[in-house]
């Protein structure tokens, strides 16, 4: 009987999904397991999409996406990051951040190649390496005092002649860690020294609470890298503009890579939905006001959950500077999936198990705090009660 390819069989399933599927079959759950805001897409973006449909954005577009959207993205980089990009050759619109990860990774890895991935991290990066028939080496972020860092010695030790790629996420999902200037420089130097592609997942760059004022983005790696460096940046409209269901993102890359990714797009997705691309243009042009309001709420939510967690027994949780997650470490925990399942069944609180995020993730749980206070407050109370009556996991 024909079988599913063994290379596909070995791609692990998402343990966030596994937990979510149990939760979705239940009523009345306080859902904090997925990485998305409870807020709907702002009205002006929805209106832009219906106008785009009426205006005829129902046909195929270029594989690299609408030139007008690429120009709008280049303009935003110039304004926010002081980075000049050529919209014609260095930006590729994708049908989401995860598709940008997919096409970027696929374009640089041959079967049997190796990739270094800083973890705990959203599992899709490592899974995309596996889907390219390449080998993942996960390098955990060490917790030093009250801040996560990068283990450059472990990175050095993991390089082999087959290593081609280093993937990191800043701001991090699930840690909320944001790479410092020195850490970014260290990663870039490391990649240059070993002749590796450096792939920076920057989809949370606008969700930043330590930039002096809210709305200031995390400085992109593109500020440090030249356009001739082997650097790629993955981006998305999902998080900044509450557009998870729309599936629009982009890839910034060296010209030759961007050119190849554009070609590959033809065979994968052809391009992101035409009217969604048009609406994304409007999000970039007019989204700052809504974003500012969201950031204020997110920062309050972070602080509310952080205070609550720090009052719970056996919890260690650094203050995150970005994204919308907390990743508390629970003393003595060795089965985060079992913990989350019991918490779900007994208390109707849905969290993502740390084990889902790869090396360094077990022993923690991820809380997405992009929800209303009416959900977060009882969720924290129930978690505290659950921990107080804690059994062994």
1-9, 65-73, 180-188, 236-244 -> range binding ligand PLP (CB under 6 A): 236-244
Residue 332 zone, left/alpha/beta (φ > 0; ψ -120 to 50; rest):
left
Report how far Cα 351 is from the mean position of its chain's Cα atoms: 17
Neighbour-count burial of 391, counting CB atoms closer than 10 A to its CB (0-12 exposed, 13-18 middle, 19+ buried): exposed
Site for ligand PLP in 166-185 (CB under 6 A): 169, 173
Q: Between 114 and 201, whose beta carbon lies closer to ligand PLP?
A: 201
Give the nearest distance from C-beta 97 to ligand PLP in angstroms.
3
Give the nearest distance from C-beta 1 to ligand PLP in angstroms.
34
Q: Which helix (H) or strand (E) holds 114?
A: strand 114-119
Number of C-alpha atoms within 13 angstroms, CB side, residue 347?
A: 24
| Sole binder of ligand PLP in the list 61, 236, 282, 336 (CB under 6 A) | 236
Assess contact for 353 and 23: CB atoms under 8 A. Answer: no
Give the nearest distance from C-beta 236 to ligand PLP in angstroms.
3
Tokens of 389: 């009556």
238 binds ligand PLP (CB under 6 A): yes
- Gap between the Cα atoms of 337 and 15, Å rounded: 8
Q: Between 275 and 312, whose beta carbon lies closer to ligand PLP?
A: 275
Give the nearest distance from C-beta 245 to ligand PLP in angstroms.
9
Site for ligand PLP in 14-53 (CB under 6 A): 35
Closest by CA to 360, choosing from 139, 187, 200, 108, is 139
Q: Between 41 and 312, whose beta carbon lies closer to ligand PLP?
A: 41
| Sole binder of ligand PLP in the list 97, 104, 123, 350 (CB under 6 A) | 97
Closest by CA to 135, choosing from 161, 103, 156, 100, is 161
| Sole binder of ligand PLP in the list 96, 127, 184, 364 (CB under 6 A) | 96
Give the nearest distance from C-beta 150 to ligand PLP in angstroms.
16
| Helical pair 43-54 and 274-286, crossing angle rounded to 10 deg | 140
Size of the site for ligand PLP (CB under 6 A): 13
Site for ligand PLP in 243-272 (CB under 6 A): 244, 249
DSSP lists the bridge partners of residue 235 as 250
58-66, 93-101, 186-194, 280-288 -> range binding ligand PLP (CB under 6 A): 93-101
Number of C-alpha atoms within 13 angstroms, CB side, residue 192?
A: 11
Question: Would you tell me which residues interact with ligand PLP (CB under 6 A)?
Answer: 35, 96-98, 122, 169, 173, 201, 203, 236, 238, 244, 249
């Amino acid at each position: 009987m024909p079988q599913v390819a063994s290379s596909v069989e070995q791609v692990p399933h998402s343990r966030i999904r596994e937990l979510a599927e149990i939760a979705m079959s239940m009523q009345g759950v306080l859902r904090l397991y997925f990485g998305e805001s409870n807020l709907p897409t702002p009205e002006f973006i929805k209106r832009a999409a219906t106008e785009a449909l009426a205006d005829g954005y129902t046909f195929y577009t270029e594989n690299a996406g609408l030139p007008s959207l690429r120009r709008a993205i280049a303009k935003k980089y110039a304004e926010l990051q002081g980075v000049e990009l050529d919209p014609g050759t260095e930006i590729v619109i994708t049908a989401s951040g995860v598709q940008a990860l997919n096409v970027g990774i696929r374009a640089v890895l041959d079967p049997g190649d190796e990739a270094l991935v800083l973890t705990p991290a959203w599992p899709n990066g490592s899974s995309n390496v596996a889907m390219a028939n390449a080998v993942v080496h996960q390098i955990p972020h060490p917790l030093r005092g009250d801040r996560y860092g990068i283990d450059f010695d472990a990175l050095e030790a993991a390089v082999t002649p087959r290593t081609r790629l280093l993937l990191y996420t800043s701001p991090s999902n699930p840690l909320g860690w944001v790479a410092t200037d020195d850490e970014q420089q260290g990663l870039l130097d490391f990649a240059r020294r070993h002749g590796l592609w450096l792939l920076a997942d920057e989809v949370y760059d606008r969700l930043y609470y330590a930039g002096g004022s809210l709305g200031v983005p995390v400085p992109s790696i593109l500020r440090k890298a030249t356009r001739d460096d082997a650097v790629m940046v993955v981006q998305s409209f999902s998080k900044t503009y509450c557009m998870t269901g729309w599936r629009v993102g982009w890839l910034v890359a060296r010209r030759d890579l961007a050119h190849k990714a554009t070609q590959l797009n033809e065979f994968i997705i052809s391009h992101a939905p035409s009217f969604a691309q048009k609406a994304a243009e409007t999000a970039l042009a007019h989204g700052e006001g809504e974003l500012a309001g969201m950031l204020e709420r997110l920062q309050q939510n972070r602080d509310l959950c952080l205070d609550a967690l720090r009052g719970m027994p056996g919890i260690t949780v650094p203050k995150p500077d970005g994204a919308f997650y907390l990743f508390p470490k629970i003393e003595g925990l060795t089965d985060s999936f079992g913990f989350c399942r019991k918490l779900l069944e007994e208390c109707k609180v849905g969290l993502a198990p740390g084990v889902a995020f790869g090396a360094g993730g077990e022993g923690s749980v991820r809380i997405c705090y992009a929800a209303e206070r009416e959900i977060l407050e009882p969720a924290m109370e129930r978690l505290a009660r659950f921990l107080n009556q804690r059994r062994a996991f």
